Structure 1
Amino acid sequence: MEDLLLDNPVIASVKDDAGLQTVLRSDCPVVFLLYGSVLTVPSLVDALKSGGKTVLVNVDMVEGLNAKEIAVQYIREKTGADGILSSKAVMVKAAREQGLLAVHRFFLVDSFSYHNLGRQIAISRPDYVEILPGCVPRVITWLRQDIEVPIIAGGLVCDKDDVVAALGAGAAAIASSNVDVWSM
């Protein structure tokens, strides 16, 4: 995924069927799948993979899954996804152990959540860390000094200025559900 992000640092975050159809027509090579159920995720991933996309599934948002390692195993065995996203260290760690790409999502809402990030990364050992909201370049700059894991800025990345600011602050990529951002 690292090579894909070097050439195109915009990740399409897809949250509904309309977004799925739009991303299939886009040049975005990496997709974060943010919706579905245990019944629909296999076909959603299949559609994206057939469209040549690298797909990571947000296991926290799949209806019918719970925060146990078996959920990651299900994604690996039943969907063919390339990896997972989760805000739970145990899920990210399980993904790494099962050979999937792993993105650990962090919602930074205060200094406590910021200072807890390092402990969580030590447990999960992710391939990437996604920081939400992604429109906070100052915090991205601080994190680049504190952690060695590549950072994806996600959430509330609304326009070119947000993309440029996040990348300029040191983010490896940005993730957005805003279709206009996908074509930048």
Structure 2
Amino acid sequence: MDTHQLLELLDAGPVIAAVKDPAGLARALDSDVSVLFLLYGDILTIRDTVARVREAGKRAFVHLDLIEGLSTREISADFIARSTAADGVISTKPALTRRARELGLVAIQRIFLLDSMALKSVERHFSQESADLVEVLPGLMPKIIRQLCRTTGRPIIAGGLITDKEDVTGALGAGAVAVSSTNPAVWSM
């Protein structure tokens, strides 16, 4: 899968199921969403988890920072690329997303915007070579989403605290290509 194919999937269904445990995975696999963010697991189980997602006809993105047993070094992206059928990765670490891109995985840079200083830092230091898409948390900031769409030059995914249709439409209306949520009620919108 490449970025263009992912964007086509998200255009058809802009809600991403972010799963944080086996029960959430089961619900996401039974849902209509086509893209899953895997926010849990370890190096012994991630291959099988990704395989279950792919067998269900869905796309799997592994959050490298949240998989137990992986390090913060580029070798983690190599492990996912060689040992799983994941479509891509998510990380807060630009070196990991950059390496994932080199390996042909779709790379999503996750950023947390806690205050105006964090926003300025992203605007100054974001490298287009490090990621294909940007996930911004919390995702309830339409004005900031519009600004990030302009400054990063990358598609934006809004995540974190997305709980209802108003949150989804607000983020999408501000220019986000998708929203990610751990809330199964959002997955069916």
The reply to whether TM is greater than 0.5 is yes
Q: Which amino acid aligns with 1:74?
A: F
- In the aligned structure 2, how far is the partner of 1:56 from the partner of 1:42? 12
Would you say 1:97 and 2:102 are equivalent positions? yes
Aligned residues: 184
Query: What SS is found at the alignment partner of 2:68?
Result: coil
Shift of 1:125: 2.9
Task: Spell out structure 1 runs of 4+ moving beyond 4 A.
Answer: none
- Aligned position for 2:78: 73
- Aligned position for 2:113: 108
- In the aligned structure 1, how far is the partner of 2:183 from the partner of 2:140? 13
- Aligned position for 1:10: 15
Contact 1:89 1:123 in 2 (8 A): no
Contact 2:29 2:53 in 1 (8 A): yes
- In the aligned structure 2, how far is the partner of 1:51 from the partner of 1:117? 36
Query: CA deviation digits over 1:127-184, x for unaligned, max 9?
Result: 1000000011121122123221000000000100000000001101000000000001
Shift of 1:119: 4.1
- Aligned position for 1:180: 185
Identity %: 46
- Aligned position for 1:138: 143
- Aligned position for 2:3: none
Contact 2:128 2:152 in 1 (8 A): no
Pair 1:123–1:152, CA change in 2 (3 A)? closer
In structure 2, the gaps of 5 or more residues are: 1-5
- In the aligned structure 1, how far is the partner of 2:147 from the partner of 2:124? 16
Contact 1:72 1:91 in 2 (8 A): yes
Query: CA deviation digits over 1:10-56, x for unaligned, max 9?
Result: 00000000011001111100000000000110110010010011110
5 Å matches for 1:1-184? 1-122=6-127, 124-184=129-189
TM-score in terms of structure 1 length: 0.97
- In the aligned structure 2, how far is the partner of 1:93 from the partner of 1:118? 18
Query: CA deviation digits over 1:84-121, x for unaligned, max 9?
Result: 00000000100111100000000000112111113443
Q: Which amino acid aligns with 1:75?
A: I
TM-score in terms of structure 2 length: 0.94
In structure 1, the gaps of 5 or more residues are: none
